[in-house]
């Protein structure tokens, strides 16, 4: 039997090793992914301004951090909002060298065991894909050269640091993407030194307009974190107490994972906004707990994705609550609760605007469109309460908002009643 001193030494050694569970675990339903890089809470200074990557990697409640974004591929551009100030131009390239990120990626992986992905796309991506399959293949090879395992190249934005994979966040139709994704997947599979991951961030309407061709059994993904916000099928549409949902469609994506996905073991994660300003349909408390419990009843469920880090850290207690909810049992028919929702639009006057690069959400351009407001005499039908859905493609419910609110469209799929 080992001595107490030997056991103490062993315990110390074990404690110094980052937990395997710290990164993505394909066997777990409790993975948590949070996008970093866009400072979408919008603070230029103070407690809630976006911090360097390693600051967030210390948080044991986060497993996966996608870096947002590589916003252009053919003419490569990295956009990390305020953290881009720490980078310098690489001679002869449109890319930057980010020495702080080089150090932080390594620290996050080796000290804290985090899974670090590079997200490609975002709301400002406008290239529309590639002119041919050959151009797509060449682009994938370039990406592998810039961010893959061979660190000897001249163009290495993260220097000797090597990420754990790539995330696709395309928000509009893109051409020849299956060839791009398939080539990148092939390159990943040839590297036997580490496990590479490929993820995508489609919107919840199925099939997704942007990622659809890649998700149609043509590219093998490890994770798909579906954006259940800014759309009619978001978490705010979940109805407690029933097993069949009319709008919230995690069951559709679970069926995709089992019958369409090229990878039969793909994990589907519940994508949610992490604060009221992070996306339309923000949901919290008992309502979110019911959504998570219901989603956990599907075998493909792999955890929760949140947009984004700066919004999350400005919303005290939300991450703790999500982790607590993930630790609870799955419930096929959850208990009845009231839905707690909010909007990403402030209480100031609403105009037609599109978010900038530093306020984008993964997988969807958030365009606020003002539509008609309701008045007590405008209709004899039912009125929609503040924060509830009032329109969108496929919507069959009431469309007139209660007095003092206006029906605002966030996408072709989802509109809700916001205060004037």
The class level of CATH for 18-326 reads: alpha beta
The pLDDT tens digits along the chain (420 residues) read 444 344 344 444 333 333 344 899 999 999 999 999 999 999 999 999 999 999 999 999 999 999 999 999 999 999 999 999 999 999 999 999 999 999 999 999 999 999 999 999 998 899 999 999 999 999 999 999 999 999 999 999 999 999 999 999 999 999 999 999 999 999 999 999 999 999 999 999 999 999 999 999 999 999 999 999 999 999 999 999 888 899 999 999 999 999 999 999 999 999 999 999 999 999 999 999 999 999 999 999 999 999 999 999 999 999 999 999 999 999 875 444 333 344 333 322 322 333 333 333 454 333 333 333 333 334 457 888 766 778 776 677 788 988 988 887 766 666 777 778
CB neighbours of 333 closer than 8 A, spacing ≥ 6? 241, 242, 243, 294
Q: DSSP letter string over 224-275?
A: EEEE-SSSTTSGGG--TT-SS-SS--HHHHHHHHHHT-SSTT-EEEEEEESS
**pLDDT value of residue 362:** 53
pTM, two decimal places:
0.79
328 burial level (CB within 10 Å; 0-12, 13-18, 19+): exposed
> What does DSSP say about strands 405-409 and 415-419: parallel, antiparallel, or unpaired?
antiparallel
92 burial level (CB within 10 Å; 0-12, 13-18, 19+): exposed
Cis (ω within 30 of 0) for the bond into 279? no
What are the φ and ψ backbone dihedral angles of 197, each rounded to 5 degrees? Answer: -120, 145
Measured CA to CA, the distance from residue 50 to residue 34 in angstroms comes to 13
**pLDDT value of residue 402:** 86
Distance from chain centroid for Cα 230: 13
**pLDDT value of residue 417:** 76
Q: What angle do CA 151, 97, 18 make, to 5 degrees?
A: 60
Instruction: Identify the CA nearest to 414 among candidates 269, 210, 235, 224.
Output: 235
Tokens at 304, concatenated: 């929760």
> What does DSSP say about strands 367-373 and 353-354: parallel, antiparallel, or unpaired?
antiparallel
Rg of the chain over all Cα atoms, to the nearest angstrom: 22
Q: Which of 100, 110, 127, 171 is catalytic?
A: 171
Q: Where along the chain do its domains lie?
A: 18-326, 341-419
Specify the residue for token string 């956990």: 296
Measured CA to CA, the distance from residue 385 to residue 229 in angstroms comes to 19
Catalytic, 171? Answer: yes
């Amino acid at each position: 039997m080992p001595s107490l001193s030997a056991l103490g030494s062993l315990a110390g050694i074990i404690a110094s090793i980052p937990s395997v569970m710290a990164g993505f675990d394909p066997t777990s339903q409790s993975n948590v992914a949070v996008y970093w890089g866009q400072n979408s809470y919008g603070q230029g200074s103070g407690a809630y301004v976006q911090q360097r990557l390693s600051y967030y990697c210390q948080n044991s409640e986060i497993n996966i951090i996608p870096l947002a974004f590589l916003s252009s591929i053919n003419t490569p551009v990295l956009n990390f909002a305020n953290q881009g100030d720490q980078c310098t131009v690489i001679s002869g390239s449109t890319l930057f060298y980010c020495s702080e990120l080089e150090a932080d990626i390594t620290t996050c992986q080796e000290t804290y065991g985090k899974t670090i992905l590079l997200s490609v796309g975002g709301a400002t991506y406008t290239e529309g894909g590639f002119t041919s399959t050959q151009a797509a293949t060449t682009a994938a090879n370039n990406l592998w050269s810039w961010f893959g395992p061979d660190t000897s190249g001249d163009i290495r934005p993260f220097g000797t640091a090597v990420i754990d994979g790539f995330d696709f966040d395309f928000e509009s139709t893109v051409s020849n993407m299956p060839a791009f994704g398939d080539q990148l997947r092939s390159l990943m599979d040839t590297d036997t030194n580490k496990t590479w991951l490929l993820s995508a961030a489609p919107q919840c309407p199925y099939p997704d307009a942007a990622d659809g061709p890649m998700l149609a059994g043509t590219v093998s993904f490890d994770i798909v974190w579906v954006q259940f916000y800014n759309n009619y099928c978001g978490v705010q549409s979940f109805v407690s107490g029933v097993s069949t949902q009319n709008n919230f469609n995690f069951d559709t994506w679970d069926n995709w994972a089992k019958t369409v996905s090229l990878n039969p073991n793909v994990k589907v994660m519940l994508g949610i906004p992490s604060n009221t300003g992070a996306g339309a349909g923000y949901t919290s408390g008992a309502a979110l707990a019911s959504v998570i419990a219901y989603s956990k009843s599907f075998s493909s469920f792999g955890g929760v994705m949140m947009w984004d880090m700066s919004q999350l850290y400005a919303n005290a207690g939300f991450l703790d609550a999500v982790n607590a909810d993930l630790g609870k049992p799955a419930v096929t028919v959850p208990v009845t609760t009231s839905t707690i929702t909010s909007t990403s639009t402030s209480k100031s006057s609403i105009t037609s605007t599109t978010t900038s690069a530093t306020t984008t959400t993964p997988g969807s351009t958030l365009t606020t469109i003002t539509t008609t407001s309701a008045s007590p005499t405008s209709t004899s039908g039912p009125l929609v309460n503040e924060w509830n859905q009032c329109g969108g493609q496929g919507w069959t419910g009431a469309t007139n908002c209660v007095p003092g609110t206006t029906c605002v469209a966030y996408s072709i799929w989802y509109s809700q009643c916001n205060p004037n």
